[in-house]
Amino acid sequence: MADDGRASLIALYLARRPDLVRFFTVRLRSAAAAEDLVQDIYVRLSGLDPSIEIQNPMAYLYRLGSNLMLDRLRGQRRTAHRDGAWLDSQTTRVGPHEVSAEPSAEAAVAARQRLALLAEALKDLSPQTQRVFRMHKFEGLSHPEVAAAVGISRSAVEKHMMAALKHLLAKLP
Amino acid sequence: MTRTDNSSGKSRIAEEAAYWFARLQGEAATGDDWLAFERWLQSSPAHVRAYDQLEALWIDLEFAPVAKDLGGLPLVTARRALPHRVSPRGHAPEVMRRRAWLGAGAAIAASLAVAVGVGVWSPGVATQTFQTTPGQTRDITLADGTHIRLNAASKITVALGRDARRVQMADAEAVFDVAHDAGRPFLIGVGDRQVRVVGTEFNLRHRADLVDLTVRRGIVEVRPANAPQAAPTRVSVGQELTHFAGQVGSVLKISDPDRAFAWTNGQLIYRDTPLSDVAADLSRRFATQIRTADARTGALRFSGVLVTDNQPDVLRRLAAYAPVRVEHTGSAIVLHHR
């Protein structure tokens, strides 16, 4: 098993596929979209290192699917502003050609307000919560890695993340 | 229901959504947690909406550059343990990583120090050349533990010196997963740019006069190859830098790393891309060259995901999604506007 973590993950996936489809149907509000997503989980699994070791295999499958959903959402957030409004507000030319791209559409203004609101809301948090949030969200450290870096327990990391998210959610209209 | 009841209900749901999100992002979550989360979602449509909102917020934060300065500490190179990518090699124990974090300020300072220009190869350091033909990709693990996935029709030269690890990239595309070693920077010469790395994962593409860099983890610095003391442009997670040879500046934008990394999963992702570029990519992917018949065909715009399993199927799908007809000549495949 230690030599073939991928094979046992795939076996688990096949056995619990209906559970995954049911879960992602709730999340995506569409059985067809859920089928697609669960199929994508399989594609990702088959690309894994055969010797991969996973602590909580079932949780891993759910998390993998949820991350795929987040990836799609990320793509949609960009595509929705394909005409440039959102993207341009993020595009800067570096080097001597300094150009600040000004988005024109109202959507861009709303988007910027939302970003400003989020940025402001982050500043309300305690320094320690900010630090934990930044390390996990922006520097890509896992919860255990953040815990080790800051010198707190994993459940404390979870609590900081929870406090930050709740606050951000409350600040949005 | 009074107004107060409504808002406290909303606050409770927000709290629960935040609880689940934080809980499920931690490695300690179990299958049972996910089932309990599913029951929570199913118990009210408001729960589903709140969780959707939370995820949208989570993504949108990535578009807020200001937020990255939170807390006033330097950004560090980080290992990311997303379930959908293969875990980093197991030789970075927790203690080492913690030290890497604590020493981050020093590491960043070191990475800003003077870099020796590309092309200056230390004497006595053995160089290795790795090359792939069209249709071939190659996984390379260097002696320092760095992993390189070389795309088709690519060539790179590697020299692991005592003071620096150097790669010279000819016409090539590769994903680099660089082993952390603050004392021995990883320097890549690519056209008229130099890329400097401490320990990170990114895709680097050098085709014709275009350099394209997308970072999935950590931070990468880019500076002109002939001006090692120039202030670097820093590219971080989720950003893409493009540079045309000969131009003074570069363009930095928010980008989805999965798009740049797609080739490692046998996919090519395009958005509004000239068909001539698609044909060039496919020519590297398969043994038979593919070209567009004329400028009009080459200028057609293509958006979509191509699974690059085998050439006949790819061409069939391409012809289904784009207004083209496929002609097989003796030595090549030609795409015609129809």
Residue-wise pLDDT tens digits, A53-102: 888 899 999 999 999 998 888 877 765 544 334 433 333 434 333 233 33
The better pLDDT of the pair A65, B11 is held by A65
The answer to whether A88 touches A108, Cβ cutoff 8 Å, is yes
CATH code for the domain of B174? 2.60.120.1440
- Which residue, among B20, B34, B99, would best test binding to A if mutated, counting the most A CBs under 10 Å from its CB? B34
> Which of A127, A155, A169 shows the shortest C-beta gap to B14?
A169
Q: How far is B214 from chain A (nearest CA, A)?
A: 14
- Domain closes at, from B115, B137, B168: B115
Q: How far apart are the first and last CA of chain B?
A: 63
- Which residue, among A158, A167, A172, would best test binding to B if mutated, counting the most B CBs under 10 Å from its CB? A158
Kindly determine whether residue A142 and residue B80, on different chains, have CB atoms separated by under 8 Å: yes
Q: Same domain for B110 and B63?
A: yes
B32 inside domain? yes
Check residue A118 and give its pLDDT.
84
Q: How far is A105 from chain B (nearest CA, A)?
A: 17
The string over B32-42, giving b where at least 16 C-beta atoms fall within 10 Å of a residue's C-beta and e elsewhere, is ebbeebbebbe
Query: What mean pLDDT, rounded, does chain B reach?
Result: 76
Strands (E), B172-279: 172-177, 186-190, 193-197, 201-207, 210-217, 219-224, 233-236, 239-244, 250-254, 267-274
Q: How far apart are the first and last CA of chain A?
A: 49
The better pLDDT of the pair B75, B187 is held by B187
Residue-wise pLDDT tens digits, B95-148: 333 223 333 333 332 222 222 223 334 445 678 889 988 888 888 888 888 899
> Looking at the complex, does the CB of residue B68 fall below 8 Å from at least one CB of chain A?
yes
ipTM of the complex: 0.83
Q: Same domain for B246 and B135?
A: yes
Kindly determine whether residue A140 and residue B79, on different chains, have CB atoms separated by under 8 Å: yes
Average pLDDT over residues A133-148: 84
pLDDT > 70 fraction of chain A, expressed in percent and rounded: 79
CATH code for the domain of B315? 3.55.50.30
Q: Which domains does chain A have, with CATH numbers?
A: 3-92 (1.10.1740), 105-171 (1.10.10.10)
A142, amino acid identity: S
Average pLDDT over residues B199-221: 85
Average pLDDT over residues B5-16: 78
- Domain closes at, from B256, B285, B307: B256
Q: Same domain for B10 and B106?
A: yes
Check residue A83 and give its pLDDT.
39
pLDDT > 90 fraction of chain B, expressed in percent and rounded: 18
> Which of A68, A94, A149 shows the shortest C-beta gap to B84?
A68
For B40, name the nearest residue in chain A, comparing CA atoms only.
A26
What residues in B contact A17, CB-CB < 8 Å? none
Check residue A106 and give its pLDDT.
57
For A113, name the nearest residue in chain B, comparing CA atoms only.
B64
pLDDT at B229 over 90: no
For B218, name the nearest residue in chain A, comparing CA atoms only.
A139
Average pLDDT over residues A138-165: 89
Query: Would the pTM of this model clear 0.90, i.e. be above it?
Result: no
Q: Which domain holds residue B191?
A: 126-256
Q: How far is A16 from chain B (nearest CA, A)?
A: 11
